[in-house]
A and B are shown apart, each in its own frame.
Chain A
Amino acid sequence: MAKRIDVSGLTAYYSTFKAIEDISMTVEPRSVTAFIGPSGCGKSTFLRTLNRMHEVTPGGRVEGKVMLDDENLYGSGVDPVTVRREVGMVFQRPNPFPTMSIFDNVAAGLRLNGSYKKSELNDVVEKSLRGANLWDEVKDRLNRPGSGLSGGQQQRLCIARAIAVEPKVLLMDEPCSALDPISTLAIEDLIGELKEHFTIVIVTHNMQQAARVSDRTAFFNLAAVGQPGKLIEIDDTERIFSNPSVQATEDYISGRFG
């Protein structure tokens, strides 16, 4: 179910502005990879190239290759819509569909993929909500609007929505930045469980979080404002946090950063 991501020579633009340049990396299936780096270095941009969400931004353009097992996501004739069904995404700010109930939010992706029997939907919704550690809190109010939940619950609802369609890869862009420590812990635990089924990539500004949840860590940086962001190094999380091979990484992690 989970798939390997293999990026080579990836460059992304906003109109004429080159936001990230020549990034290559491999993400193993059933692992958690954390992206760290200073603000504006292109972590979100890079993440969004992995499910072809970058091109949704007006002027967004990508060069290079992203292989999902042996399919090039940017190959000719590849439909971005099908890519996004395989590579799910959780955003920084919780964004449940405000007009839909909790149940419909989770079922939304399935309903896009085809028609399901009510009982099948019930099963998937329960399974996904359990998977996102939200079931016990919402099982009595599945027909209430999703926007009525707390921020942390909304974020877990978004995770449930993303995993309901059983993607091969789950991308998370600072999923905990709007949450309190308890919800953050809940989601970190959840990431630990989810990696048994999915390939997970997570952007975070929280070093402890990266150290806690990830197997591999990638450090991004940019030479100066206006310059494209680059991948400095990617290695096992333990190594990155104890003995990184590039000095800039160590400076950033230890807080001795420009």
Chain B
Amino acid sequence: MNTTATQTPPPPPTDRIEPKSSQKTVVRPGDRIFSGLSKGSGITLLVIMAAIAAFLTYRAALALSENKANFLTYEDWLPQNTPPMFGIATLAFGTVVSSVIAMVLAVPVAIGIALFISHYAPRKLAAPLAYLVDLLAAVPSIVYGLWGALILVPHLDGLNKWLDAYLGWTYIFDKAGTGPARSLFTVGILLAIMILPIITNVTREVFLQVPRMHEEAALALGATRWETIRMSVLPFARSGIISASMLGLGRALGETMAVATVLSPNFIISGHLLDPGGGTFAQNIASKFKEATPLGQDALIASGLVLFVITLLVNGAARYIIGRRKEYSGANA
């Protein structure tokens, strides 16, 4: 803490900075090999990525040129029809809605759990708890999907009835359709559970990195533990929380098997979130790719590219939010 500055001996002199006696710089063979290697692998990676992108764009363009409907606004997915008609409206709606539900549910809970582990739990409890959360992150998504379909769906019936009865006036919780709870709402809950561990882990890491001296600054002013968290911990961890949420969101947007297992195949857009049915990009691709005609496959590729663009936009937005208040972040303290 405050003693380190006076107690640590000065770092031993390093020989990395050599006096510049002559203009000629010495390049060691090891440096040259490593720089060649890293340059080479960087270029290889770029070439592979460009090739994949070109291939996907080409196939997507093939499908789009055949499409007789508006790709962005058409609500059905009928590439096998003559003429083929397909659009991503339903997919975009379902993807965004289920991810938003997942984020709204998961982020606050994850922050709470992370804070508990990092700042409230006694040490004996914190370590096993952190380990447990790590374990949850390692469960394969198909397992979550099976659990969702077999256990979550039937058990959500009661909650759905309650929401319908008491919050039905909000429109979104008004259940108009019938059938089991294979709805976007259920998918959202399942996704929330799935992204909870990763968000919790990353935020917990960030909370633990808050420098002791920032917390002591607040404590010495007479802040309670919660006030310390509000004054020192949360502001310092803000960009980390956003990054963690984006990681979670990325997973929710792209989640395939769990959604495909739970969601009813009913291909609809409904503002009534409890209604069975809907669709997401990833789920739609997974459930239709095998039986699709060649054109159908290209259409699915096109929809995959849209998902890619959405993910890029989300990440860009997150970067913007993090960068906007950089000078206020803890990083330069």
Q: Tell me the complex Cα distance, A205–B222, Å.
A: 27
Q: Is the CB of B214 within 8 A of A97?
A: yes
Q: Is the CB of B327 within 8 A of A145?
A: yes
B311 within 8 A of A: no
Q: Tell me the complex Cα distance, A130–B47, Å.
A: 61
Chain A residues near B125 (CB-CB < 8 A): none
Q: Is the CB of A84 within 8 A of B220?
A: yes
Q: Is the CB of A98 within 8 A of B329?
A: yes
As a 0/1 sequence over residues 119 to 151 of chain A, the CB contacts with chain B under 8 angstroms (1 = contact) are 000000000000000000000000001011000
- Please tell me which one of the listed residues A88, A112, A173 contacts residue B2 in the complex, with CB atoms under 8 A apart: A173
Q: Tell me the complex Cα distance, A51–B219, Å.
A: 10
Q: Which of the candidate stretches B27-35, B167-175, B186-194, B224-232 sits at the interface with the other chain?
A: B224-232
Chain B residues near A93 (CB-CB < 8 A): 2, 5, 213
As a 0/1 sequence over residues 211 to 241 of chain B, the CB contacts with chain A under 8 angstroms (1 = contact) are 0011011111111100100011001101000
Known A82-B222, A97-B217, A99-B238; judge A147-B333 contact (CB<8 A): yes
As a 0/1 sequence over residues 297 to 333 of chain B, the CB contacts with chain A under 8 angstroms (1 = contact) are 0000000000000000000000000000101111011
A195 within 8 A of B: no
Q: Tell me the complex Cα distance, A176–B330, Å.
A: 22
Q: Is the CB of B223 within 8 A of A112?
A: yes
Q: Tell me the complex Cα distance, A231–B327, Å.
A: 44
Chain B residues near A96 (CB-CB < 8 A): 217, 333
Distance in Å: Cβ of B232 to nearest Cβ of chain A: 7
Residues of A66-101 at the interface with B, using a CB-CB cut-off of 8 Å, are 81-85, 88-89, 91-93, 95-101
A56 within 8 A of B: yes
As a 0/1 sequence over residues 28 to 55 of chain A, the CB contacts with chain B under 8 angstroms (1 = contact) are 0000000000011000100000010100
B23 within 8 A of A: no
A161 within 8 A of B: yes
B7 within 8 A of A: yes
Question: Could you say which interface size class chain A belongs to?
Answer: 35 or more
Q: Is the CB of A98 within 8 A of B328?
A: yes
As a 0/1 sequence over residues 1 to 28 of chain B, the CB contacts with chain A under 8 angstroms (1 = contact) are 1110111000000000000000000000
Most chain A beta-carbon neighbours within 10 Å: one of B231, B329, B330: B231
Q: Is the CB of A109 within 8 A of B217?
A: no
Q: Tell me the complex Cα distance, A44–B213, Å.
A: 14
Give the residue name and chain of the B residue nearest to A145 (CB): B328
Chain A residues near B213 (CB-CB < 8 A): 91, 93, 95
A174 within 8 A of B: yes
Q: Tell me the complex Cα distance, A101–B329, Å.
A: 11
Q: Tell me the complex Cα distance, A100–B230, Å.
A: 12
Q: Tell me the complex Cα distance, A178–B227, Å.
A: 28
A108 within 8 A of B: yes
Q: What number of residue pairs across chains A and B have CB atoms under 8 A from each other? A: 102
Chain B residues near A162 (CB-CB < 8 A): 220-221
Q: Is the CB of A99 within 8 A of B330?
A: yes
Known A82-B222, A161-B221; judge A92-B2 contact (CB<8 A): yes
Chain B residues near A240 (CB-CB < 8 A): none
Give the residue name and chain of the A residue nearest to B213 (CB): A95
Q: Is the CB of A148 within 8 A of B221?
A: no
Q: Is the CB of B332 within 8 A of A44?
A: no
Q: Is the CB of B5 within 8 A of A177?
A: yes
Q: Is the CB of A112 within 8 A of B7?
A: no
A165 within 8 A of B: yes
Give the residue name and chain of the A residue nearest to B327 (CB): A145
Chain B residues near A81 (CB-CB < 8 A): 222-224
Known A95-B214, A98-B329, A147-B332; judge A165-B2 contact (CB<8 A): no
Distance in Å: Cβ of B233 to nearest Cβ of chain A: 10
Give the residue name and chain of the B residue nearest to A173 (CB): B2
Distance in Å: Cβ of A66 to nearest Cβ of chain B: 16
Chain A residues near B333 (CB-CB < 8 A): 95-96, 98, 147
Q: Tell me the complex Cα distance, A108–B219, Å.
A: 11
Q: Tell me the complex Cα distance, A112–B232, Å.
A: 13
Distance in Å: Cβ of B117 to nearest Cβ of chain A: 15
Distance in Å: Cβ of B159 to nearest Cβ of chain A: 39
Q: Is the CB of B214 within 8 A of A39?
A: no
Q: Is the CB of A108 within 8 A of B221?
A: yes
- Please tell me which one of the listed residues A44, A97, A148 contacts residue B231 in the complex, with CB atoms under 8 A apart: A97
Known A99-B328, A99-B330; judge A40-B3 contact (CB<8 A): yes
Q: Tell me the complex Cα distance, A244–B6, Å.
A: 26
Distance in Å: Cβ of A60 to nearest Cβ of chain B: 11
Chain B residues near A83 (CB-CB < 8 A): 222
What are the 8 A-B residue pairs with the smallest beta carbon separation, nearest first?
Answer: A85-B222, A99-B235, A98-B333, A89-B220, A92-B2, A84-B222, A95-B213, A109-B221
Q: List 24 A-B contacts (CB under 8 A).
A: A39-B3, A39-B6, A40-B3, A56-B219, A57-B1, A84-B220, A88-B220, A91-B213, A92-B5, A95-B214, A97-B214, A97-B232, A99-B236, A99-B238, A99-B329, A99-B330, A109-B222, A113-B222, A147-B327, A147-B328, A147-B332, A161-B221, A165-B221, A165-B222
Q: Which residues of A contact B (CB under 8 A)?
A: 39-40, 44, 51, 53, 56-58, 81-85, 88-89, 91-93, 95-101, 108-109, 112-113, 145, 147-148, 158, 161-162, 165, 173-174, 177-178, 205
Instruction: A84-B219, A109-B222, A165-B221 are known; give 13 further A-B pairs, CB within 8 A.
Output: A58-B123, A81-B223, A82-B222, A83-B222, A91-B2, A91-B213, A92-B5, A97-B217, A98-B332, A99-B325, A100-B231, A108-B231, A112-B227
